[in-house]
Structure 1
Amino acid sequence: MTDTTHTETDDAQGRDEEMLLPQLGLDRRDFMKAGAAAGTLGAMAGCTGLLDRDDGTGAGGASGNADAHVPPGELDEYYAFLSGGHSGDIRVLGLPSMREIMRIPVFNHESARGYGYDDESSEMLEEAGGYTWGDTHHPRVSQTDNDYDGRWAFVNDKANGRMARINLKYFETDAIVDIPNQQGTHGACCVLPDTKYVIGVGEFRVPLENDGRSLDAPDEYGSVFAAINPETMNVEWEVLVDGNMDNGDGGKEGKWFFTTGYNSEGGVTESEMTQSDRDMVKAFNIPAIEAAVEAGDYEEINEVPVVDGRQDSPLNSGSDPVVKYIPTPKSPHGVSVTPDNNYAIASGKLDPTATVIDIAALDEVDDPEEAVVGRPRLGMGPLHTAYDGRGHAYTTLFIDSQVVKWDIEAAVEADLGSEDPVVEKIDVHYNPGHLIASESYTADPAGDWLISLNKLSKDRFLPVGPMHPENDQLIYIGDDEGGMELVKDKPSYAEPHDASIVHRDKIEPAKTYDPEDLDLEHTAAGEESVERVADDRVEVKMYSMRNEFGFPDITVQEGDTVEMQVTNIETTSDILHSLVIPEHDVNIKMAPQETTKVTFEADEPGVYWMYCGFFCSALHLEMRSQLLVEPEG
Structure 2
Amino acid sequence: MTEHTDDTDDTIEGHERELSAVREEHDDADDDVSLSLPGLSVDRRDFMKAGAAVGAATASAGCLDALSGGGSADQETASGGAKNHKVAPGELDDYYAFLSGGHSGEIRVMGVPSMRELLRIPVFTPEPASGYGYDDRTSEMLEEEGGGYSWGDTHHPRVSQTDNDYDGRWAFVNDKANGRMARIDLEYFETDAIVDIPNQQGTHGACCLLPDTKYVFGVGEFRVPMQNDGRDLDDPEAYTSTIAAINPETMNVEWEVEVDGNMDNGDGGKDGRWFFTTGYNSEHATTESGMTKADRDWVKAFDVPAIEAAVENGDYEEINGVPVVDGTRESSLNQSDRPIVRYVPTPKSPHGVSVTPDGDYAIASGKLDPTCTVIDVEKLAEADDPADAIVGRPRVGMGPLHTAYDGRGHAYTTLFIDSQVAKWDIEAAVEAEAGSEDPIVEKIDVHYNPGHLIASESYTADPEGDYLISLNKLSKDRFLNVGPLKPENDQLIYIGDDEEGMQLVKDKPSYAEPHDASIVSADKIEPADVYDPSDYDAEFVAEGDESIERIDDSTVHVKTYVKRNEYAFPEIRVQEGDEVRITASNVEETSDITHGMAIPEYDVDLALAPQDTREVTFTADEPGVYWVYCSYFCSALHLEMRSRLIVEPSE
With structure 1 as the length reference, what TM-score do the two structures score? 0.94
Decide whether aligned partners of structure 1 residues 492 and 35 sit closer, same or farther in structure 2, where only a CA change above 3 A counts. farther
Residue correspondence of structure 1 range 410-421 to structure 2 within 5 A: 410-421=428-439
What is the match of residue 462 of structure 1? 480
What is the match of residue 83 of structure 1? 100
Check whether the contact 2:365–2:401 (CA below 8 A) recurs between aligned residues. Answer: yes
- SS of equivalent to 2:26: helix
What is the CA–CA distance in structure 2 between the aligned matches of 1:343 and 1:328, rounded to whole Å? 15
Matched, 1:174 2:181: no
Decide whether aligned partners of structure 1 residues 374 and 548 sit closer, same or farther in structure 2, where only a CA change above 3 A counts. same
Deviation, 1:74, is 0.6
What is the match of residue 110 of structure 1? 127
User: What is the letter of the counterpart of residue 152 of structure 2?
Assistant: G
Residue correspondence of structure 1 range 173-572 to structure 2 within 5 A: 173-572=191-590
User: What is the letter of the counterpart of residue 531 of structure 1?
Assistant: E
Deviation, 1:66, is 3.3
- SS of equivalent to 1:186: strand
Decide whether aligned partners of structure 1 residues 276 and 99 sit closer, same or farther in structure 2, where only a CA change above 3 A counts. same
What is the CA–CA distance in structure 1 between the aligned matches of 2:399 and 2:425, rounded to whole Å? 18
Q: How many residues end up aligned between the 2 structures?
A: 616
What is the match of residue 3 of structure 1? none
- Residue deviations 1:55-89 (CA, integer Å, cap 9, x gap): 97614647423321000001000000000001100
With structure 2 as the length reference, what TM-score do the two structures score? 0.91
Matched, 1:586 2:604: yes
Decide whether aligned partners of structure 1 residues 490 and 288 sit closer, same or farther in structure 2, where only a CA change above 3 A counts. same
Decide whether aligned partners of structure 1 residues 603 and 275 sit closer, same or farther in structure 2, where only a CA change above 3 A counts. same
Decide whether aligned partners of structure 1 residues 545 and 459 sit closer, same or farther in structure 2, where only a CA change above 3 A counts. same
Decide whether aligned partners of structure 1 residues 360 and 209 sit closer, same or farther in structure 2, where only a CA change above 3 A counts. same
Check whether the contact 1:18–1:25 (CA below 8 A) recurs between aligned residues. Answer: no
What is the CA–CA distance in structure 2 between the aligned matches of 1:255 and 1:561, rounded to whole Å? 52
What is the CA–CA distance in structure 2 between the aligned matches of 1:310 and 1:20, rounded to whole Å? 27
User: What is the letter of the counterpart of residue 366 of structure 1?
Assistant: D
User: What is the letter of the counterpart of residue 544 of structure 2?
Assistant: G
- SS of equivalent to 1:215: coil
Check whether the contact 2:54–2:61 (CA below 8 A) recurs between aligned residues. Answer: no
User: What is the letter of the counterpart of residue 66 of structure 1?
Assistant: K
Decide whether aligned partners of structure 1 residues 56 and 228 sit closer, same or farther in structure 2, where only a CA change above 3 A counts. closer
- Residue deviations 1:484-535 (CA, integer Å, cap 9, x gap): 0001000000000000000000000000000110110111011011111121
Residue number among 103, 127, 133 corresponding to 2:151 in the alignment: 133
Decide whether aligned partners of structure 1 residues 347 and 483 sit closer, same or farther in structure 2, where only a CA change above 3 A counts. same
User: What is the letter of the counterpart of residue 417 of structure 2?
Assistant: I
What is the CA–CA distance in structure 1 between the aligned matches of 2:274 and 2:224, rounded to whole Å? 25
Bigger shift: 266-275 or 256-265? 266-275
Decide whether aligned partners of structure 1 residues 44 and 320 sit closer, same or farther in structure 2, where only a CA change above 3 A counts. farther
Check whether the contact 2:218–2:245 (CA below 8 A) recurs between aligned residues. Answer: yes
- Residue deviations 1:239-280 (CA, integer Å, cap 9, x gap): 000000000000000100100000011111222212111100
Decide whether aligned partners of structure 1 residues 398 and 42 sit closer, same or farther in structure 2, where only a CA change above 3 A counts. farther
- Residue deviations 1:102-136 (CA, integer Å, cap 9, x gap): 00000011001110111111000011110010000
What is the CA–CA distance in structure 2 between the aligned matches of 1:312 and 1:47, rounded to whole Å? 55
Decide whether aligned partners of structure 1 residues 36 and 206 sit closer, same or farther in structure 2, where only a CA change above 3 A counts. farther
What is the CA–CA distance in structure 2 between the aligned matches of 1:108 and 1:265, rounded to whole Å? 35
- SS of equivalent to 1:459: helix
What is the CA–CA distance in structure 1 between the aligned matches of 2:217 and 2:255, rounded to whole Å? 10
Check whether the contact 2:595–2:632 (CA below 8 A) recurs between aligned residues. Answer: yes
Matched, 1:119 2:136: yes
- SS of equivalent to 2:130: coil
Q: Percent identity?
A: 71
Check whether the contact 1:43–1:400 (CA below 8 A) recurs between aligned residues. Answer: no
User: What is the letter of the counterpart of residue 444 of structure 1?
Assistant: D
- SS of equivalent to 2:308: helix
Check whether the contact 1:46–1:428 (CA below 8 A) recurs between aligned residues. Answer: no
What is the CA–CA distance in structure 1 between the aligned matches of 2:578 and 2:28, rounded to whole Å? 71
What is the match of residue 65 of structure 2? 58
What is the match of residue 91 of structure 2? 74
Deviation, 1:48, is 3.8
Check whether the contact 1:21–1:352 (CA below 8 A) recurs between aligned residues. Answer: no
What is the match of residue 96 of structure 1? 113
What is the CA–CA distance in structure 2 between the aligned matches of 1:470 and 1:601, rounded to whole Å? 43
What is the CA–CA distance in structure 1 between the aligned matches of 2:61 and 2:49, rounded to whole Å? 19
Decide whether aligned partners of structure 1 residues 97 and 18 sit closer, same or farther in structure 2, where only a CA change above 3 A counts. same
Check whether the contact 1:570–1:593 (CA below 8 A) recurs between aligned residues. Answer: yes
Check whether the contact 1:329–1:351 (CA below 8 A) recurs between aligned residues. Answer: yes
What is the CA–CA distance in structure 2 between the aligned matches of 1:290 and 1:191, rounded to whole Å? 13
Check whether the contact 2:63–2:444 (CA below 8 A) recurs between aligned residues. Answer: no
- Residue deviations 1:418-465 (CA, integer Å, cap 9, x gap): 000000000000000000000000000000000000000000000000
Bigger shift: 213-222 or 363-372? 213-222
User: What is the letter of the counterpart of residue 105 of structure 2?
Assistant: G
What is the CA–CA distance in structure 1 between the aligned matches of 2:650 and 2:23, rounded to whole Å? 75
- Residue deviations 1:595-625 (CA, integer Å, cap 9, x gap): 0001111111111110111111111111110
Deviation, 1:39, is 9.3
What is the CA–CA distance in structure 2 between the aligned matches of 1:38 and 1:216, rounded to whole Å? 43
